[in-house]
Amino acid sequence: MRQLASPQVAMDFFEHIREDINTVFERDPAARSRLEVFLCYPGLWAVWYHRLSHALWTLKLTLLARIVSQIARFFTGVDIHPAALLGRRLFIDHATGVVIGETAIVGSDVTIYQGVTLGGTGKGQGKRHPTVCDGVFIGNNANVLGDITVGQNSRVGAGSVVLSDVPPNSTVVGVPAHIVYRGGQRVLITDPHDIKDPLSDALIALAARVEELEKYSIGLNQRKLHTEPFAAEEAERSAYREELDRLRDYVSMGEGI
């Protein structure tokens, strides 16, 4: 039985490696050949190291698994906890600085750039890292924090900090991240209540005050129009009279010369 299983395992192993290399070749326009991908993509090596460390982790060889993941970190700059669950065809581009926490789950066909953290918020135990669904793209130096879900085929902008669930087929950007595209449609924030930011309360108060002042100013203008219907014309006429008087003085001075 074991003899029968071995060739299959070996085939799966090489099949996965071929699939990983093809994935990078298809997604990175800078890749010139499959040999180059095999030799020069530390993000790929990180995924392969993780397969080994994860296998050791599931065999309860936890210390050995951690050692392998630290060796991987040394050589690739990618720190993936051995318990993290990674799907197929994960592409970690540029590798350096990527951190994937213990309870993170990453689906298939996910692309992650350098500096991305799939981390915890520092609060709580148990499932405390994100779930990233299939086809997600995460731009460089983005932080996705806590037990949240990034929905299928969504995109996280470079440098964003994602603190809440992202619906499928959406694009989120900013700190903290907010949705700018959903289902291909641009999402514009017009209500300050929709801004999730430490300054939100101040913005909401400011918007309310501006609205109040606008109403007050409209009321004032209407009252003035009502009580003095010809005020504007009268002001124009008196300005004209003053100008005429000034010119008359000037002309009378000229007559004496």
Rule CB under 6 A: which residues touch ligand COA?
94, 113, 139-140, 155, 157-160, 171, 173-174, 180
Q: Shortest Cβ distance from residue 175 to ligand COA (Å)?
A: 8
The nearer residue to ligand COA, 107 or 157, going by C-beta atoms, is: 157
> How many other C-beta atoms lie within 10 A of the C-beta of residue 78?
26
Q: Are 169 and 185 in contact (CB under 8 A)?
A: no
203 φ/ψ angles, rounded to the nearest 5 degrees = -65, -40
d(CA 64, CA 178) in angstroms, rounded, equals 40
The nearer residue to ligand COA, 70 or 152, going by C-beta atoms, is: 152
Q: Is the peptide bond before 42 cis (omega within 30 degrees of 0)?
A: no
Short-list 105, 112, 97, CA closest to 127? 105
Strand extents, DSSP E, 125-207: 131-132, 137-138, 143-145, 149-150, 155-156, 161-162, 170-173, 178-182, 185-186
The nearer residue to ligand COA, 57 or 113, going by C-beta atoms, is: 113
Residue by residue, DSSP assigns 217-251 as HHHHHHHHHHH-TTHHHHHHHHHHHHHHHHHHHHH
Bridge partners, residue 172, by sequence: 156, 179
The nearer residue to ligand COA, 180 or 204, going by C-beta atoms, is: 180
The nearer residue to ligand COA, 167 or 174, going by C-beta atoms, is: 174
Q: Shortest Cβ distance from residue 164 to ligand COA (Å)?
A: 17
The nearer residue to ligand COA, 68 or 133, going by C-beta atoms, is: 133
Q: Are 136 and 130 in contact (CB under 8 A)?
A: no
Residue 131 identity: T
d(CA 233, CA 7) in angstroms, rounded, equals 98
The nearer residue to ligand COA, 72 or 138, going by C-beta atoms, is: 138
